[in-house]
Amino acid sequence: MASQPVLERDQIAPPAPRPHKRPWYRSRAAKGALYASPAALFVLAFFVIPLVLVGQMSASEWPLIQGNQGINLPDNYANMTDDRLFWPAVWFTIKYTVIVVVLLLGLAMAMALLVQRRRRGVGLLRTAYFLPVSLGLASAALLFWGFYSPSIGPIDPILESLGLIDEPIRWLGTPNMALASTVFLIVWKFAGFFMLILLVGLQAIPGEVYEAARVDGASRVQTFFRVTLPLLRPSIALCLIISVTGSLLAFDQFFILTNGGPDNSTVTVVMLLYRKAFRQFDLGTAAALSIVILVVLLIINIAQFRLLRRGSEG
């Protein structure tokens, strides 16, 4: 059917001179592929091949120094839970994630609501909230390591001079204090980051929506729960994905502040992996652990993406 008119035209008019046929490598598609090829090669060499290798390593006996000693499937996976710190580390990582996500997103939301409207001085507040974000996590952890230390920490002397405490608080000395102190560091460091994401979301809500809510006689609290929160759902889901992923992979902050202590009470899953690889020299089990982490994160993130999509549809 489609070729019919073309045939007719060919019969009427003399065949048009064929355009000079370009060789394939001069075509536009080839040029596009050429521009994308550095990134493609890079991703192949340093992402795809390592992922294949980590799969092989997780199925092999692979001591740090000697290297590949052959397939031992499924020993690395089966023996993973033999480490007496495995379940405590999993439990601690989950507990830490729940606490951080709730506190972090709660505070970030309060801060975003506080500074969402333009008024005098609001820019200064936004900048103050955001400054810690530009610091590195390791720098921030080292800062707080001094801040909490009994030698130069500023909080104990102030509390002592006010007569509120008799002896220094052991900010990192007990399991619960170490967790609380680390959570404070993380909230301090990242609240501004999530505030910014929520702020962008808040400012995308058209003013007419609030106007309509006001005309309908909705109170401020009603407006927040019935109008703002539902419309903000994609931004909240995004914050959730980033903060949950980041917390489940927590490492720097505990490595620097507590090094897993006291009494291994703050060993996270990633710290367990680091110790497996570079303290116990067992790369095979470390690889297996990293694959388990990857799969768990994929499942959690797919679940959260679903939430995100439903949010933007509704």
Partner 1 sequence: MATMGMRNAIGNTSFWVFGGGLAIMFLVPLVWTTVASVSPHGATAQQEGYGFGNYGTLMDYDAGLPRYLWNSSYVTILTVVFVLALSILGGYAFARFRFPGRDVLFLLIIAILMVPYVTVLVPLWVMFGEIGLRNSLLGVAIVLTLYQLPFGMFMMRISFEAVPKELEESALVDGCGTFGVLTRIMLRAVWPGMITVGLFAFLFAWNDFIAPLFLISDSSQFPLPLAIATLRQQTMGAIDFGATQAGVVVMALPCLILFVLLQRHYVRGFMSGALKG
36-95: contacts with partner 1 (CB under 8 A): 36, 38-40, 42-43, 46-51, 53-54, 57, 67
What are 193's strand-pairing partners? none
Interface residue with partner 1, options 80, 111, 112, 250 (CB under 8 A):
111
Burial (Cβ within 10 Å: 0-12, 13-18, ≥19) of residue 252: middle
Using rule CB under 8 A, residue 301 touches partner 1: yes
**Across the chain, which distance is largest between two alpha carbons, in Å?**
105
Beta carbons within 8 Å of 173's beta carbon, 6+ residues apart:
262
Q: What's the Cα-to-Cα distance from 72 to each of 59, 83, 232, rounded to whole Å?
A: 6, 18, 49
Crossing angle of helices 269-278/86-115, nearest 10°? 130
Q: How far is the CB of 202 from partner 1 (least distance, A)?
A: 12
Using rule CB under 8 A, residue 190 touches partner 1: no
Using rule CB under 8 A, residue 100 touches partner 1: no
| DSSP code of residue 83 | S
- Positions in 204-263 near partner 1 (CB under 8 A): 234, 238, 242, 249, 251-252, 255-256
How many residues bind partner 1, per CB under 8 A? 81
Using rule CB under 8 A, residue 196 touches partner 1: yes
Closer residue to partner 1, CB minimum distance, 151 or 176: 151
Alpha helices in 116-228 (DSSP H): 122-134, 137-147, 155-161, 175-203, 207-215, 220-223
Residue 77 structure tokens: 């996976």
Using rule CB under 8 A, residue 293 touches partner 1: yes
Using rule CB under 8 A, residue 96 touches partner 1: no
Q: How far is the CB of 223 from partner 1 (least distance, A)?
A: 16
- The binding track of 122-151 with respect to partner 1, each residue x by CB under 8 A or -, is --xx-xxxxxx-xxxxxx--xxxxxx-x-x
Q: What's the Cα-to-Cα distance from 165 to each of 145, 154, 285, rounded to whole Å?
A: 21, 14, 47
Q: How far is the CB of 39 from partner 1 (least distance, A)?
A: 4
Q: How far is the CB of 209 from partner 1 (least distance, A)?
A: 20
- Positions in 264-283 near partner 1 (CB under 8 A): 270, 273-274, 277-278, 283
Using rule CB under 8 A, residue 101 touches partner 1: no
